[in-house]
Amino acid sequence: MIDVVWDMETGDPDDFLTLLLLLGHPQVNLKAVAVTPGTPDQVGVVRRALEWFGRDIPVGAHNLDHQPRSVREQGDPGEGRHGPRGVCVSSWHYKAYGDIPSSRDAAPGGEVLHAHCDESTTLVTGAPLKNLGAAMRLPNFRVGRLVVQGGFAGEGVVPPERQLDKFRGLVTCPTYNLNGDPRSAEAALVHPGIGVRRFVSKNVCHGVYYDAAMHTAVAAVKHRSPSLQRIWQGMEVYLDKSPEGKKFHDPLAACCAIDEAIGEWAEVELFRARGGWGSRPSPGSNTWIITGYDHDRFVRTLLAAGAEPSV
């Protein structure tokens, strides 16, 4: 079992699905959750997920005290693709899981990461690295392993025959989570308190989908697992609107944290150039980026949320 802290956002469904996965996976001890930018609506949906699993763990928010009043608190939620939405929370969350009240029950995100990360903890991030940036500015921040959904490996790292068509020949590419706070991303690349760095980059993530076949596989075992039941519930709503499926970025990153052998990794130096990010081979850097993955092993790790806890 691994100790995990999960840092997320809620503009896209797969961060919340990853939270559900981590809450119920038998190989994971989820110690804390942090959310960016930290609106009351975001804290509310995180708190609701913790209630479903009977968990009372710390929740951090990047900038809760300076967030606007929830539109749901005002009784005037905006409209999204699936109906009413919240501040930085997609309408899918409410369509899939019902009305969820907002909450301000959260501590500063950087302080939560600082308090609950240590040399034996894995920090998995699916959001801009604002909370990590705040944690690194506090004294003696330590984390054994950082697994980031983000970054890019292209020409010079990934062989041409394995490059996705949309990225073919590219050396750099914009990547949302790193560009959301590039200074914190650059600081994380050199911070002495971070042990191993692993980046689950978009050159692989963009080829990973939760589609009808995966939905069927989850349906077959969801009765064994609250995590898989809730994931199936959410994706039933999503696939009704988008039957072609959903890119599954953050669950892949979480599963790679659980089982690193899912990925094929290159040891690299990450760099930023003209608004994009790239990587170049750098033996000894202790910074790794994914160049390929084992789909069957990924699915097995995802579905293992329905297995008995390991001893």
Q: What is the β-pairing status of strands 194-200 and 143-149?
A: parallel
What is this structure's pTM? Answer: 0.93
Angle, CA of 101, 148 and 292, to the nearest 5°: 125
Q: 184 lies in which domain range? A: 2-306
Q: Residue 253: inside a domain, yes or no?
A: yes
Residue 240 pLDDT: 93
Query: 184-194 in b/e burial notation, b at 16+ Cβ within 10 A?
Result: bbbbbbebebb
Per residue of the chain (311 residues), what is the pLDDT tens digit? 999 999 999 988 999 999 999 999 999 999 999 999 999 999 999 999 999 999 999 999 998 777 666 666 665 666 767 777 788 899 999 999 999 999 999 999 999 999 999 999 999 999 999 999 999 999 999 999 999 999 988 877 888 777 777 777 777 888 889 999 999 999 999 999 999 999 999 888 778 899 999 999 999 999 999 999 999 999 999 999 999 999 899 999 999 999 999 999 999 999 999 889 999 999 999 999 999 999 999 999 999 976 654 43
Q: Residue 263: inside a domain, yes or no?
A: yes
Closest CA to 82 of 231, 239, 218: 239
User: How many domains does the structure of the chain reveal?
Assistant: 1
Q: Residue 15: inside a domain, yes or no?
A: yes
- Contact of 36 with 10, CB cutoff 8 Å: no
Q: Residue 80: inside a domain, yes or no?
A: yes
Which residues are CB-neighbours of 201 under 8 A, at least 6 positions away? 150, 151, 152, 153, 175, 279, 289, 290
**Can you give the CATH number for the domain in which 222 is found?**
3.90.245.10
Residue 309 pLDDT: 45
Residue 68 pLDDT: 61
Three-state SS at 205: helix
Q: Residue 311: inside a domain, yes or no?
A: no
- Contact of 224 with 306, CB cutoff 8 Å: yes
